[in-house]
Structure 1
Amino acid sequence: MAHRSAIGLHLVLRQQGLVLLGLRRNTSYANGWWHLPAGHLERGESVTAGMAREAKEELGITISEEALQLVHVLHDLDADDHAGRFQLFFTADSYVGEVTNCEPQKCEELRWWPLNALPEPTVAYAGTALAAIEAGQALAVHGFPA
């Protein structure tokens, strides 16, 4: 049987050595935890179209698909539902607009954090991915038994 997996899309925006994180609230996952701007790939869209859509919906910025760069893939085994998920992490060198919290019902606040001093609690797999990105690793696995 073929493996099926949800695909998460994450935006790693950096500014002067800082990374943008949002404090989640009123969501079905990780309420009260800091996380990258993220969402899920929807049926019928490419990963770049999905990431551009999420950036617009969550942050109010327009990123062209060509400006997105895939910097990391993380295969995550969710501790709650034991489902495997592929998490894709993108950066963008340019975008149009000003970063704004466009989903205050789901995000209490947006804040820029130093990569070497992420807030507590930060979603664990996001922390794993950010450390791997900083180390130049294109791929990581999280949550699977050793």
Structure 2
Amino acid sequence: MAMTNGRQRAQVDVHLILRRGDDILLGQRINTGWADGCWHLLAGHGEDHEPALTTLIREAREELGITIEPGNARLVHVLHHLTESSRIALFFQVTTWTGEPANTEPDKCAGWQWHHLDDLPTPMIPYARQALTDYRAGLAYSELSWPR
């Protein structure tokens, strides 16, 4: 875990829970070198001096070709995940957007599909599955991989 002066430093990443009723949009990873073949939410990391909501909107435009207005994104879950570098994963729900989701990065994504929240596909990125399960249960916060 990254530490500076004894203080934990965390990587922040954003995740899009794009909802159409009880269905969410998931993509299948390919050619990335990490968890290829697994299903995952649209996710990304901020660029220098970019706040989380701006990152979410940019990633949705780049990876799905859709436009999200800031007021249509609602923070619904936070997952603090212990990895080689501590991670704070922010999950935003969006139910209103402009455009039709498309696979704009076919070199990294085999395709996007709608899946019911109660019937998530396998294999799926484990932390995303946990976050979606906790989100569905109404939990705003969860932790993963921390020692008890």
Residues 13 and 52 of structure 2 are in contact (CA less than 8 Å); yes or no, is this contact kept in structure 1? no
Q: 2:103 aligns with which of 101, 104, 107?
A: 101
Q: 1:32 aligns with which of 28, 37, 42?
A: 37
Can you give the 5+ residue segments of structure 2 that lack an aligned partner in the other structure? none
List, as ranges, runs of 4+ consecutive aligned residues in structure 1 with deviation greater than 4 Å: none
Q: 1:69 aligns with which of 74, 97, 101?
A: 74
The answer as to 2:57 corresponding to 1:55 is no
For the residue of structure 2 that corresponds to 1:7, the secondary structure is strand
Structure 2 counterpart of 1:123, which letter? Answer: I
Structure 2 counterpart of 1:137, which letter? Answer: L
CA drift of 1:28 comes to 3.0
Where in structure 2 are the equivalents of 1:1-146 lying within 5 Å? Answer: 1=5, 2-78=7-83, 82-146=84-148
CA drift of 1:16 comes to 2.8
Structure 2 counterpart of 1:138, which letter? Answer: A
CA drift of 1:145 comes to 2.3
Stretch of structure 1 that moved more, 52-61 or 23-32: 23-32
Structure 2 counterpart of 1:143, which letter? Answer: S
Query: CA RMSD for the aligned pairs?
Result: 1.1
- Give the share of equivalent positions with the same residue, in percent: 43
Structure 1 counterpart of 2:80, which letter? Answer: H
Q: Distance in 1 between matches of 2:146 and 2:34?
A: 19
Structure 2 counterpart of 1:83, which letter? Answer: S
Structure 2 counterpart of 1:119, which letter? Answer: P
CA drift of 1:93 comes to 2.9
Structure 1 counterpart of 2:46, which letter? Answer: L
Per-residue CA deviation, residues 2-21 of structure 1 (Å, 9 max, x unaligned), is 32111111000111311111
